[in-house]
Each structure stands twice: as structure tokens, then as C-alpha cells.
Amino acid sequence: KAGVTQTPRYLIKTRGQQVTLSCSPISGHRSVSWYQQTPGQGLQFLFEYFSETQRNKGNFPGRFSGRQFSNSRSEMNVSTLELGDSALYLCASSLVAGRDTGELFFGEGSRLTVL
């Protein structure tokens, strides 16, 4: 069974640009969540989707957005990039549909560098 796949793995952007990251969950998993990991802030929750609906959102500005498609694949977008957006963006999928997230399976992440 294939794991969580994130693309691209690495990317470099300049301030003001926008970026779209993609995540394909494990087959059969309908919950997809995103986390931002930085050395200073650790792992911060961005948002969670289930059956194309956003069920929870973290404390990030509106420049951060996401969506989920009918095949459970998810994308997140960051507009008007800032230097502080440089981070490892991790996607995770889960089989559990309930409020208490079960085991999360993580992808290897997309490393974004903003110059």
C-alpha cells in the first residue's frame, strides 16, 4: 500500500510569490491534515479536511488556504509569500472520521524556502 505522497519535495520561491503544495493520502483515507514545521515554532496545525469539507483550521493568516478533492487528494496554497513561510510542510492522512483523530500517517513533507 502506498504511503502519503507529497509533491514537490523541495521548492524555492521569492517573497510575494505564491505556492501550491499537493498531497495524496493513503488509499481509503478520507481525512487529510496539514502541519507547518519550523525550528522555532515546532509543528503547527494548519487545517484538516474530510470529504472535501474543512473541519478545523489553525491560527494562520488567510494567505494560507487549502482544499480537498473528491478523490481525497488535497492541496494547500500560500499566497504573497513571506520569509517566515520557509518551513517543512507536512501532510498527514487518517482513516478515522471521528472528532478524535486516530493514527496519523505522515508524508515526507515539502520543504519550502522563501528568498
Partner 1 sequence: AQSVTQPDIHITVSEGASLELRCNYSYGATPYLFWYVQSPGQGLQLLLKYFSGDTLVQGIKGFEAEFKRSQSSFNLRKPSVHWSDAAEYFCATSGTYKYIFGTGTRLKVLA
The nearest distance, CB 58 to partner 1, in angstroms, is 7
Please list every residue from 3 through 22 that binds partner 1, using CB under 8 A.
4
Tell me: does residue 104 bind partner 1 (CB under 8 A). Answer: yes
Tell me: does residue 51 bind partner 1 (CB under 8 A). Answer: no
Contact segment (CB under 8 A) with partner 1 among 15-23, 54-62, 63-71, 77-85 equals 54-62
Residue 3, CA distances (Å) to 56, 65, 69, 79, 92 in order:
23, 23, 18, 28, 10
Tell me: does residue 103 bind partner 1 (CB under 8 A). Answer: yes
Neighbour count for residue 60 (Cβ, 10 Å): 16
Tell me: does residue 43 bind partner 1 (CB under 8 A). Answer: yes
Cα–Cα distance measured from residue 83 to residue 73, given in angstroms and rounded to the nearest whole number: 27
Please name the residues in contact with 40: beta carbons below 8 A apart, sequence gap of 6 or more: none
Check if the beta carbon of residue 36 is closer than 8 Å to that of residue 43.
Answer: yes
Residues that bind partner 1 (CB under 8 A): 4, 31, 33, 35, 42-43, 45, 48, 50, 55-56, 58, 90, 92, 99-109, 111
